[in-house]
Amino acid sequence: MSKELLNAVKEKFANAGFKIEESIRNAEGLSTDLQVVSYRHINVKVIYPKGDANRTIMIDESADLEKILASSIEKFQYLSDFEAIWSKELGVVECELEFQNDNHFLSYFEMFDDFLDIKRYISERRDHNKRFEFKQSAKEWSVTIGDCSEQYHLLYYHQRRSFPRTILTLRIEGLYANTESEIREKLLKIGRSALFQYDLKKDIPLQLSENWRGRIARELYRKEPNWDAELNEPVYEYDQDAFDLYMYARTSGEMPLLQYLAFYQVLEYYFPMYSLNEAQKKIRNLIKDPLFNVESDQEVSRLINLIKLTGKGKSLGDEKSQIKATIQGIIDQESLLEYYKGMPERLDFFGQNKNGKRVAKQKINFSAPDNDIRTETAQRIYEIRCKVVHAKDDESFESLLPTSPEVREIGHDLALVEFLARKAIIAASRPLSI
């Protein structure tokens, strides 16, 4: 019976214009897998997306084949950039939602009241299915938030091969578009409106879930925990403020731009120390110069510029010179080059890789033997910092927002600023005194 159902599933997808491939998954049981790969076809009604959203789902005889046959999942496609599905024909888009923390997740199921003028209803699919329905006016489309639909469950279960018990989604029905870019724009606009209201009235922040492939791109640098590493006796103490910023960044992995700024703030914490050292060297060299003339207004102005304080009154010089002085003070040229060469893809990313240039225009020149890569590293870190905070009047950097495609490629830059933040804390450490 299951073989006939599997053939019927195969025919269902073939008729919808999908490419079918069969493979042996389990050599012992000779269980046949059915790979359903989406592709663009002129005769199908769904516009299949390009690139990242061209995904594979796996269906075998153990699947709920009758449920698949009864479903309309062949009318859906995956959306790029988000964990979402879309049916052009049915006018439905559904996107997974993320909680900020577990407390918000638990609170969600305690909130079935009329506070938001949102009603609870239970679907026929599963007893635990709960959704909030936003009141509908004269608009043709409607919005709900709650347990994922049958279509979403089937498509993502057979893609991931595992599925959490509860997945929260935002679902919009009656929303039609001709292209993926058009439905993406509509999803973002309606999603922002609905989720902002939800946060204000329910005090539970939710966000549209980014495609997990984008998260992987940010986390490539992360290593598996080394459970067997030996721990030595603590012998050094570290600056509390810098350490707190570092640990805050380490626990903000789901918010890469915030994480980047926190690591940057670790470096910024040491600006006064290293900018002062750099200024002392410059002032000393200027005064020691036999040609320095104390009677010359121009020479005195040069001296004043060297000792000019920042707006905060703690550091010397502008921010670009401070980040440069700090990096040059915490690591030598050879050690930084060794870090870059630690991973071939890292060396390529910061050198010539086009993805690296998408994040920041400043690349690192590894080919010139006399080039101080610490200077270019400082310029790149500063550029990204400015793109994130959009706050420098003397530079014209494009904004880097949480939804910017470039954030998908920020993993290597996150690893770099984290590496240097550690170096800064270590360089300023001192013997532990109790």
pLDDT at res. 324: 92
133 forms beta bridges with: 119, 144
Cβ neighbours of residue 416 closer than 8 Å, sequence gap 6 or more:
339, 350, 377, 381
Structural domain span for residue 94: 2-209
Q: Please classify residue 35 by burial: count the beta carbons closer than 10 Å to its beta carbon, then call 0-12 exposed, 13-18 middle and 19+ buried.
A: middle
Does residue 217 sit within a domain? no
Instruction: Considering only CA atoms, give the Rg of the chain.
Output: 28
Cβ neighbours of residue 362 closer than 8 Å, sequence gap 6 or more:
376, 379, 380, 383
Contact 169, 94 (CB under 8 A): yes
- The DSSP annotation for 115-137 comes to TTS-EEE--SS-TT--EEEPPP-
pLDDT 10s digit of each residue in the chain, 434 long? Answer: 567 777 787 788 778 777 777 655 444 444 455 555 543 322 222 223 333 456 667 676 666 778 888 888 888 888 877 889 999 999 999 999 987 554 444 445 444 433 333 333 333 344 445 778 887 766 788 999 888 888 888 887 766 655 555 688 999 999 999 998 899 999 989 998 888 888 878 888 888 887 755 554 445 545 666 767 777 778 889 999 999 999 999 888 778 899 999 999 999 999 988 877 666 666 777 777 777 777 677 776 776 666 665 445 455 567 888 899 999 999 999 999 999 999 998 999 998 877 788 889 999 999 888 899 999 999 999 999 999 987 555 456 788 888 788 888 899 999 999 999 999 999 999 998 87
168 forms beta bridges with: 147
Does residue 216 sit within a domain? no
| CA–CA dist 192, 147 (Å, integer) | 19
Considering the domain architecture, whether residues 299 and 401 belong to the same structural domain is answered as: yes
Contact 123, 50 (CB under 8 A): no
| CA–CA dist 163, 154 (Å, integer) | 10
Q: What pTM, to 2 d.p., does this model score?
A: 0.64
- End residue of a domain, out of 159, 180, 209: 209
Does residue 45 sit within a domain? yes
Contact 94, 77 (CB under 8 A): no
List alpha helices for 85-234, DSSP H: 102-108, 150-160, 180-202, 212-218
Contact 337, 429 (CB under 8 A): no
| CA–CA dist 84, 132 (Å, integer) | 18
- The DSSP annotation for 263-301 comes to HHHHHHHTHHHHHHHHHHHHHHHHHH-TT--TT-HHHHH
Q: Which two tokens stand for residue 71?
A: 């479903």
Does residue 218 sit within a domain? no
Considering the domain architecture, whether residues 405 and 380 belong to the same structural domain is answered as: yes
How many angstroms from the chain centroid is the CA of residue 27? Answer: 38
Does residue 89 sit within a domain? yes
Does residue 12 sit within a domain? yes
Considering the domain architecture, whether residues 120 and 238 belong to the same structural domain is answered as: no
| CA–CA dist 257, 432 (Å, integer) | 33
Contact 145, 170 (CB under 8 A): yes
| CA–CA dist 55, 80 (Å, integer) | 10
Structurally, how many domains does the chain consist of?
A: 2
Considering the domain architecture, whether residues 199 and 257 belong to the same structural domain is answered as: no
What count of other Cβ atoms lies within 10 Å of the Cβ of residue 308?
Answer: 11
| CA–CA dist 226, 52 (Å, integer) | 32
Contact 33, 23 (CB under 8 A): yes
- End residue of a domain, out of 176, 209, 242: 209
CA distances (Å), origin 162, targets 57, 58, 155, 410: 12, 11, 11, 28
Considering the domain architecture, whether residues 69 and 163 belong to the same structural domain is answered as: yes
Query: Is residue 76 helix, strand or coil?
Result: coil
Considering the domain architecture, whether residues 229 and 159 belong to the same structural domain is answered as: no
Considering the domain architecture, whether residues 86 and 166 belong to the same structural domain is answered as: yes
Considering the domain architecture, whether residues 157 and 56 belong to the same structural domain is answered as: yes
Considering the domain architecture, whether residues 155 and 262 belong to the same structural domain is answered as: no
Does residue 111 sit within a domain? yes
Query: Is residue 434 helix, strand or coil?
Result: coil
pLDDT at res. 42: 25
Considering the domain architecture, whether residues 308 and 202 belong to the same structural domain is answered as: no
- End residue of a domain, out of 181, 209, 237: 209
| CA–CA dist 343, 129 (Å, integer) | 46
CA distances (Å), origin 194, targets 111, 170, 197: 17, 9, 5
